[in-house]
A and B are shown apart, each in its own frame.
Chain A
Amino acid sequence: MKQHEHAEHKGPEHENSIEEAGGAAVGFTGSITGFNADAQARMADALYKIGKWVGGESGVLLGHIKCAIYREDGSGVTLNLIDMDNGVEIHGTLEPSDKVAFTLMCAVLDVDPAELDHTMHHVLEDTNLDIELEHHDCHCHGHEHEHEDLHEHGNGHEHHHGHGHEGHHHHDDDDDESCGHRGGCCNHRNHSH
């Protein structure tokens, strides 16, 4: 089990409540082009995969993973994963739309925040949806960058997710499963696609 990094350097009297609980919270904001029932199902599946990863890391999913997908007028649908046995709960309905915004948030216990961030990124990528993430403080690499590089996946589908700059971990010598980032930043020893 991994301990929350921030708690290591402070006594309990100086911890905030998130640190005291050993919590990690990571969130993304972005948009999906071409939203429909299939896209919703893929997003729900993404939440489930994140939950599965959290459960694998900490022993049990304690916390919640939620995603609001909405139009400009505020109408939308919420996907919520609290319990793996219950699966992803869906509240509301959203008609197929050319473009929708979304927020994805994961607040859970006993996982490394950077690894959680990294996992969420790649699970989103694996949806093969046309997703654009807004400016995001990428914990897994320890600095800020824009997600604006274009990637092409095996099915010919393109989406934005950028690592096109220096400072990433390069594993050119590794032949492990690679997600195919052009920058070669990510090494997925334990990540299946």
Chain B
Amino acid sequence: MSGILWHLANVAGILGVLLTLAGGLIMVERRLLALWQDRYGPNRVGPFGLLQVAADMIKIFTKEDWTPPFADKPVFIIAPCIIMATVLMSFAVIPFGPTVGVADLDIGLLFFLGMSSLGVYSVALAGWASNNKYALLGGLRATAQMLSYEVFMALSLMGVVMLAGSFNLRTIVNAQQHLWFCVPQFLGLVVFTVAGIAETHRVPFDLPEAESELVAGFHSEYSGMKFGMFFVGEYLGITLISALIVTLFFGGWYGPFLPPLLWFALKTAVLICGFVLLRASMPRLRYDQLMSFGWKIMLPTALLNLLITGAVVVARHAS
């Protein structure tokens, strides 16, 4: 009984913390961007502007929620739900600490990859269902982008799997007790990070919603909370990718002195700030450049990484 209770508390705690974090992250991004652009950022609402997100949430909840008459209604409504659902589901397999985490799946990594593939539907369907040319172009870009980046995203992780000998994320973290995988799997880390940014369609891969080109891209017709879900989904996605990078390459919760959960949070926070800095400093790629970058550079790199890792693992087993 207490096991179930602990489990429920675990789930509820993680969900609560995640949603709060996603909100907080919006704030963090706005303040960090401001810092790098020589300004203050939101600082008027509540102490240090901390309640800015609360105000935004209240506003967005009470904003007119509208479905365009020309849209494909059911799909239009389902699309933003998909992104929230898939991202939150993915968090189920993340081991936040030695005892904290929702599910201890043996195929954890595959589950994440599956969920992120499903996530593509959100953007593609939103673009399609809006029945708007800009949204359609955004949706098309997203589909092409994610299809090609999925491929090497999965491939880049196989090196980690080979070294740890498991798809279970908890086992992968435990395998890094002595040496973080960011050292032997440096290429894998680079490729996965790039794929992760593309997955969350952030600058320089924000083509599906490129403001100066496609107005607001796939979410041009969305308003109110439906748009809010895309908005929050994007930040949850960043948290997810950062948490995964920490889990797979930076030893998860391991670290000296501090409690494991704090180590995990700290590492994730640093990565998130990296994501924000990237947004502050990069221009956007062009559609065809993005594709050729993916297929001509990233895919061969991932394959090369796989080949070398495989060779090393085989050699180690043989000796």
A in complex with B: no
Which B positions have Cβ atoms within 8 angstroms of A?
none
Which A positions have Cβ atoms within 8 angstroms of B?
none
